[in-house]
Structure 1
Amino acid sequence: YASYLTVNISSPNTPGLRNMQAREQLGELLSRVMAARAAAPAQPPVFLKIAPDLVEAELEDIAAEVAEKKIDGVIVSNTTLARSGLRSGGVANETGGLSGKPLFERSTAVLARMRKLLGPQMAIVGVGGVDSAEAALEKIRAGADLVQLYTGMIYAGPALPGRVVAGMARFVERERLKSIAELRDTGCASWSERL
């Protein structure tokens, strides 16, 4: 049993996997996934996890396929192949996906662009470089409904999610918001321009 299923076509560590993000291959894959879900006794929501290293035309194609195949949501994003801004030559030359703070800017810009392409009703999960309440809030401003983190726990420990949630709750109280949802999309336009 699962609360939701993720179709992850974005890992840079699996040769050829990111090719599945091309429109024709993606359309075929999503058609099969949705047909399999329809035939299953339980039908959890299906989310598509995408890479941060996509160009505008690829994002448009993905958004079109997600809408056409009635996918329930998008997870933006997996790790990046980019190494810009790294100070260590050794790390900059390593292969594989890079996560953590260096991923935050690009993944957040892609998130905002996908929000603009998919509209306000599509569920979007923001991932990439989330290591604080401030980073999580910025993902929501950019258009995320939900926020995930992974690398931050390596550096900050397993108590990080609790600190993030507590920080977000303090923000909501300080700003006198009824819900964190009021914050969603307030920075979408400016983030999408950074792409």
Structure 2
Amino acid sequence: MSGAVGFDLDMTLIDSRPGIRAAYQALTAQTGVHVDADLAVSRLGPPLRREIGEWFPADQVEEAVTTYRKLYAEFAIEPSVPMPGAREALDAVRALGLRVVIVTSKLGRLAHLHLDHLGLVADEVAGDLFASAKGSAILQHGVRWFVGDHEGDMVAARTAGVPGIGVATGPCTTDELKAAGAAYVLPDLTGFPALLREIAVGS
């Protein structure tokens, strides 16, 4: 079987909330600008600039983004952990002869740090993309199904014309993922291998 399965990263394959919380706390300590880290990690998915813009004046956003990304490698990688079923999900993809493609709003180099730290292997990583912008990477890398936890991921799948598989492990509910166009919705990744075998055989 040829092609690939695409995955979002944060709250799909990895629980990055502990590390991102620590990075935001470090950003507050360094800049003196309060960021409610708990609130920020409750709505992961959209681009970093959107979240930073909730806390910093517009003319300070770019500088704050640069500072945050410098802090990220120090504070955010070590505490992050795989989501339940993540390793088995990637194994299931490869068992069918398919490639693993990560398409994330996180910068590619930061995504690679997470994957390397956790021993999660991807064939391709496309970073700094969100919602419809992910669609071009999905098409470019031959992704046949795209898995994500956010409404924006289902928009990405629709944009690319591939089925979206929602996992209700992030900020979006099952109903929200369905409303955004998910072809399938799972509570988490533990049910993904069985679903993939079922839909791959029928494709």
What TM-score bracket applies, with the shorter chain setting the length? 0.3 to 0.5
Which is richer in strand? 2
Q: What TM-score comes out, normalization by structure 1 length? A: 0.33
Q: What TM-score comes out, normalization by structure 2 length? A: 0.32
* Structure showing greater relative contact order (alpha-carbon pairs closer than 8 Å, 6 or more residues apart): 2
